[in-house]
Structure 1
Amino acid sequence: MKEQPDILCIGSVLWDVIGRAASHMRVGSDVPGRITRLPGGVAMNIAMTLSRFGLTPALLTAIGQDPEGEELIAEANRMGMITDHVYRSEDLPTDVYMAIEGANGLIAAIADAHSLESAGAKILRSLDNGRLGSAEAPFKGPVALDGNLTEELLQQIAKSPLFARADLRVAPASPGKANRLLALLGHPSATLYVNLEEAGLLCQTTFTHSVEAVHALCTRGAHRVLVTNGGGSAAEGTAGDVIEATPPAVMVTRVTGAGDTFMAAHIASEAQGMDRTDALTRALNAAATYVSGETPL
């Protein structure tokens, strides 16, 4: 295994417990389906896709020393990720995410990321102690950052010299946590990956088109933005320079993790030298493949 990572994935690494049903569901529905338990969390989902695209990610997160944590670390190692920098707490349990999905999409979800939030800046120790970088010689390279971190920690990261040379790629954990990213709107190298709803929450309005959302976020101070809109067109750009593309139409069989797959595929495509249009198209194709139930390559 490589000792030096191609990219850092900072944020939630946990177990996803997902119940999926083939029928439409509403509040109170009780239907047959399948329940799966898989490694998940924004940082982990991104890392898994990056690994499939040939990159070696390092995880910076909090994982308990409980049996669930040991199993999760083993899975990450098996997939070729670097776990040497994970904060392993004796007192905090391994986090978990639980969701219900029907044929009409995500019905409900609960993300228990309390251990990650409690660990706080401890997960960043390797960026300060010389193992991955220091204040005098900060890490240079891409960093995938997820919005499960506390607002306080995200504010610290926005101003920290430890990230002064990093290519920050940022995603909210969910619409409910989108406003945490406001701290990073003015960061000079941050790229935000959001969906149309999250873009609206950040701008305190409602958008009908992804291009409109990119322009608005750049006006608010974002360096660079990518906005997705489900099966509608997605947009990528900076102030005054926006492109868009439409994903292929597919039968949707799952939704949890689709945005993370899109983000990881886009990062990998740019790392491998693709131009803007090809990188956006490839990322949309990877996300479409994922929601159709296949594994994106």
Structure 2
Amino acid sequence: MTHDPDILCIGSVLWDVIGRSPSHMRQGSDVPGRITRLPGGVAMNIAMTLARYGLRPALLTAIGQDDEGHELMRACEAMGMITDHVYRSDDLPTDKYMAVEGANGLIAAIADAHSLEAAGDKILRPLQNGMLGDEERPYTGFIALDGNLTQRLLDQIARSPLFDNADLRVAPASPGKAERLLPFLTHARAVLYVNLEEAGLLCQTEFASSRDAAQALVARGARRALVTDGGNSASDATSDGALTQTPPSVLVTRVTGAGDTFMAAHIAAEAAGCARDEALSRALQAAAAYVSGEHAT
């Protein structure tokens, strides 16, 4: 069994195709801007931020054997990620994500994570075969898990003894997939990272603040919940109480990946031994720097 990784990032690793414009946009808008292609996906975004903090993340995902997959693997390795445990499929293409952003935020996005979904529990084999753990000696470190996996696989993970000793950090891939995380709402090892809309979907209501949402998730059985609300606030709640902070005010130049950056920076801070208030502050500062364009992706 290897203990080389500082954290496992399980979920989507793909190519992001992002169109950004400085103009306010609405349905049907046709405006000038920039189109970029860069490594992305929830697990990838988290791993990139963790690597910037000096941690060694290992990826558990599915990447095709096509040219785009080979290029993506090289990009991951160049950023310091461990790719030894990636499931490489001969017949599944490398996944993609496409988004359009304007000055008024995310306009629309489509996530094509069909290959990750088709790979299913094959991506978890290193946790079963002794490379990273097995049922007798489950993996004991941090695990960042994203909601791009199928409902069936997420249900399986929530019940699996392979995750019994992990510090499990869980985030949905998008509001549309938030309800996939219901099996983790009462999980004994899980920490939930959601935004205000996602918290409302999990609790089947609407919340006025991140604090209300985080406390409601704990009341419904969550061991710990961190809820963000854009530039308004972020809260960290447990059964011992909640703390709330306001993020730094910055000019927003991008939004895709901001929540992933927040989650990764928070994990990195706690891995370094920071107390809850300091970890929340560092995560908010990192997310603010990201959306302002200070950090390159």
Amino acid at match of 2:155: Q
Mark the CA change 1:222 to 1:276 in structure 2 (over 3 Å): closer, same or farther: same
Matching residue of 1:60: 60
Matching residue of 2:262: 262
Q: Work out the CA distance in 2 between the residues paired with 1:82 and 1:252.
A: 31
Contact 2:3/2:132 (8 A) holds in 1: no
Ranges in structure 2 where 5+ consecutive residues have no aligned partner: none
**TM-score between both structures, scaled by the size of structure 2:** 0.98
Contact 1:23/1:102 (8 A) holds in 2: yes
Q: Work out the CA distance in 1 between the residues paired with 2:43 and 2:73.
A: 13
Matching residue of 1:196: 196
Cα offset for 1:29?
0.5
Aligned residue-pair number = 296
Amino acid at match of 2:168: L
Matching residue of 2:12: 12
Post-superposition Cα deviations, 1:112-145, rounded to whole Å, max 9, x if no partner, equal 0000000000000000000000000000010000
> Taking every aligned residue pair, what percent have the same amino acid on both sides?
72
Q: Work out the CA distance in 1 between the residues paired with 2:236 and 2:112.
A: 31
Q: Work out the CA distance in 1 between the residues paired with 2:173 and 2:93.
A: 20
Matching residue of 1:130: 130
Amino acid at match of 1:203: C
Ranges in structure 1 where 5+ consecutive residues have no aligned partner: none
Q: Work out the CA distance in 1 between the residues paired with 2:51 and 2:231.
A: 25
Matching residue of 1:25: 25
Q: Work out the CA distance in 2 between the residues paired with 1:167 and 1:296.
A: 28
Q: Work out the CA distance in 1 between the residues paired with 2:282 and 2:240.
A: 23
Q: Give every structure 1 segment of 4 or more consecutive aligned residues whose post-TM-superposition deviation is greater than 3 Å.
A: none
Post-superposition Cα deviations, 1:24-81, rounded to whole Å, max 9, x if no partner, equal 0010000000000000000000000000001000000000000000000000000110
Amino acid at match of 1:8: L
Q: Work out the CA distance in 2 between the residues paired with 1:179 and 1:42.
A: 16
Amino acid at match of 1:132: L
Report SS of the residue matched to 1:193.
strand
Q: Work out the CA distance in 2 between the residues paired with 1:95 and 1:132.
A: 25
Are residues 1:208 and 2:208 paired?
Answer: yes
Q: Work out the CA distance in 2 between the residues paired with 1:190 and 1:87.
A: 25
Matching residue of 2:162: 162
Amino acid at match of 2:138: P
Q: Work out the CA distance in 1 between the residues paired with 2:209 and 2:28.
A: 33
Cα offset for 1:3?
6.9
Q: Work out the CA distance in 1 between the residues paired with 2:296 and 2:208.
A: 28
Cα offset for 1:296?
7.9
Matching residue of 1:70: 70
Contact 1:200/1:207 (8 A) holds in 2: yes
Amino acid at match of 1:269: A
Q: Work out the CA distance in 2 between the residues paired with 1:241 and 1:16.
A: 38
Matching residue of 1:276: 276
Matching residue of 2:244: 244
Contact 1:3/1:82 (8 A) holds in 2: no
Post-superposition Cα deviations, 1:144-200, rounded to whole Å, max 9, x if no partner, equal 000001111011001101000000000000000000000111110100000000000
Contact 1:16/1:98 (8 A) holds in 2: yes
Q: Work out the CA distance in 2 between the residues paired with 1:240 and 1:229.
A: 22
Q: Work out the CA distance in 2 between the residues paired with 1:296 and 1:236.
A: 27
Q: Work out the CA distance in 1 between the residues paired with 2:23 and 2:282.
A: 30
Matching residue of 2:106: 106
Cα offset for 1:106?
0.2
Q: Work out the CA distance in 2 between the residues paired with 1:220 and 1:268.
A: 27
Cα offset for 1:16?
0.2
Cα offset for 1:239?
2.0
Contact 1:289/1:296 (8 A) holds in 2: no
Alpha carbon RMSD of aligned pairs, Å? 1.2
Amino acid at match of 2:254: R
Contact 2:14/2:72 (8 A) holds in 1: yes
Amino acid at match of 2:203: C
**TM-score between both structures, scaled by the size of structure 1:** 0.98
Report SS of the residue matched to 1:230.
coil
Matching residue of 1:146: 146
Report SS of the residue matched to 1:217.
helix
Q: Work out the CA distance in 2 between the residues paired with 1:204 and 1:130.
A: 40
